[in-house]
Amino acid sequence: MIASMIFFPVKDFSLKPESIGLVSEDVSVKTEDGVKLHGWFFSAQNSQSCLLLFHGNADNISIRLPKAKAWVKRGVSVLLIDYRGYGRSEGEIKSSADLTKDAKAALEWLKNKKKYSPAQIILYGESMGSVPVIELAVAEKFKAAILESPFTSLKDMAKLLYGMAPDILLKDFEMNNEEKITRLKTPVLILQGTNDEVVPFSMGQRLFKKAPEPKSFFEIKNGLHNDLAEKAGEDYYTKPHQFASQY
């Protein structure tokens, strides 16, 4: 019941890679608990780095194809992966630990199949996707971590949305980004809209304050939760790319 109140998987694809001029490689990875995940890999010419993207809730990888295209255009390969239960991925999320298992499986595929080292991998997490990105970036050092509209913790979000958050109900869904970001081993950029109606702008600021150096904050004036690309224009892609390119 709790999982169904938190996660809103989208199964149907709204776009296909070829419809926006992308050449994709179909990816199938298996998690440590045997769940098969689906993704797409996009190779950039002469690429020396790869973006590993974890999308937000009520979403799937098809909605993130324009973002993949923008990074490939900048010479960065991209792996889009759907969490269990999203898109064509099997299974369902039963705890926040499942997000970490899915992220680790995608990372291992990049390391083993494409031979990328952590120093070549840029982690990108949108909203809910900030949870697995922080988990990975605490465990080892990557080229960079980009957090788009990240929240402090699920408990904070539950209080905001429902007015209460009984610990017993959330015991399997810790998602405490604020506590974990203090141990980050990876350079981090946080970007968020000042008018975010889903995750308060103050949450991004709190996370930035707790994150160790090196770090940067990209404030998008009047940006909401889902219109940052429109509000920021080319800076939406250029600033994160420039940040990651420093390392």
- pLDDT (tens digit, 9 = 90+) per residue, 135-180? 999 999 999 999 999 999 988 888 887 776 666 567 777 789 999 9
Give Cα separations from 118 to 37, 50, 107, 168, 181 (angstroms).
21, 10, 9, 36, 18
User: Residues 36, 113: contact at Cβ < 8 Å?
Assistant: no
pTM: 0.95
Percent of the residues in the chain that have a pLDDT greater than 70, as a whole number:
94
Query: Which positions ≥6 away from 236 have C-beta within 8 Å?
Result: 191, 220, 228, 229
Domain boundaries, the chain: 18-151+180-245
Task: Map tokens 């440590």 to a residue.
Answer: 32
The whole-angstrom separation of Cα 97 and Cα 94 is 8
Instruction: Name residue 145's amino acid.
Output: A
Buried b (16+ CB within 10 A) or exposed e, 187-220: bbbbbbbeebebbbbebbebbbebbeeebbbbeb
Q: Topology of 18-151+180-245 in CATH? A: Rossmann fold (3.40.50)
CA 168 to chain CA centroid, nearest Å: 27
